[in-house]
Amino acid sequence: MNSPVPDWTGDTGALRAEQEALARQVRLRDDFRKPLRTVAGFDVGFEDDGATTRAAAVLLDADSLAVLDQQVARLPTRMPYVPGLLSFRELPALLAALALLPTAPDLALVDGQGIAHPRRLGVAAHFGVISGLPSIGVAKSVLVGAPRMALHDMRGAFTPLRDDREQIGWLLRSKPGCLPLVVSPGHRVAMPSAPELVMRFTTRYRLPEPTRLADRLASRRDPGAGDD
């Protein structure tokens, strides 16, 4: 699983072209171990006013949701945030955190978009293609597209997210009274499976456990430990 991210030269055109090429490698069919044994959540946070990128990876038992391991990788930030090019900024740290886990997960839940992206390569899809792991994007807001219909305020309800006539993901009511999550397949996961898999790992919070725990670790919000 190699393929470094190109250096940031300010040339967004080259990066967009790179995304289009990688998007062709995305596979939207279920292709993961069944039943799932482990699942991992990934998220990124920043330190030193953004100078340091901090990625967190939390490995859980897919059945009990017990935490099996958690890691934090810190790398110097190489690129600024540019809408649509987020993966180039966060991927290096995410891959570093993945490499620190004792074993690769059967499925990865990444904070951000899967294929619900202008060129169908959000950070979760990029992460999946580069690592080769099955992945799903779990974002807290929409980047592109619009919901097809109103969403019921019932736990587990979901409605298609479309860009033109193409379905690129779902709006998922993971918790009543809360804004819906934007769920989209990243790699090796079929469109219909994404919301079902995310709900499988969701307990009493808006975010599914893998991503929720990675969120707290990446944002130094970890109750208990102080650092990695």
Q: Where do contacts with DNA occur on this chain (CB under 7 A)? A: 43-46, 81, 83-87, 111-113, 117, 122-124, 137, 139-143, 176-177, 215, 218-220
| Residue 10, Cβ density class (10 Å: 0-12 exposed, 13-18 middle, ≥19 buried) | exposed
Name the DSSP class of 213: H
Distance between CA 39 and CA 189 in Å, rounded?
13
Phi-psi region of 147 (alpha: psi -120 to 50; beta: other; left: phi over 0): beta
Rounded to the nearest whole angstrom, what is the least distance from the CB of residue 171 to DNA in the complex? 13
Helix residue ranges per DSSP H, 72-136: 86-100, 123-131
In sign, the C-alpha dihedral spanning 104, 221, 116, 94 is negative
Rounded to the nearest whole angstrom, what is the least distance from the CB of residue 170 to DNA in the complex? 14
Distance between CA 144 and CA 124 in Å, rounded?
15
Q: Which is nearer to DNA, 37 or 220 (CB)?
A: 220
Q: Which is nearer to DNA, 98 or 124 (CB)?
A: 124
Rounded to the nearest whole angstrom, what is the least distance from the CB of residue 118 to DNA in the complex? 8
Q: Which is nearer to DNA, 38 or 113 (CB)?
A: 113
Write out the binding residues for Mg(2+).
Answer: 43, 111
Write out the binding residues.
Answer: 43, 111
Q: Which is nearer to DNA, 68 or 93 (CB)?
A: 93
Distance between CA 29 and CA 139 in Å, rounded?
21
Rounded to the nearest whole angstrom, what is the least distance from the CB of residue 149 to DNA in the complex? 19
Parallel/antiparallel/unpaired status of strands 158-163 and 146-147: antiparallel
Rounded to the nearest whole angstrom, what is the least distance from the CB of residue 35 to DNA in the complex? 28
Parallel/antiparallel/unpaired status of strands 135-139 and 107-111: parallel
| Angle of helix 123-131 versus helix 12-23 axis, rounded to 10 | 60
Q: Which is nearer to DNA, 176 or 192 (CB)?
A: 176
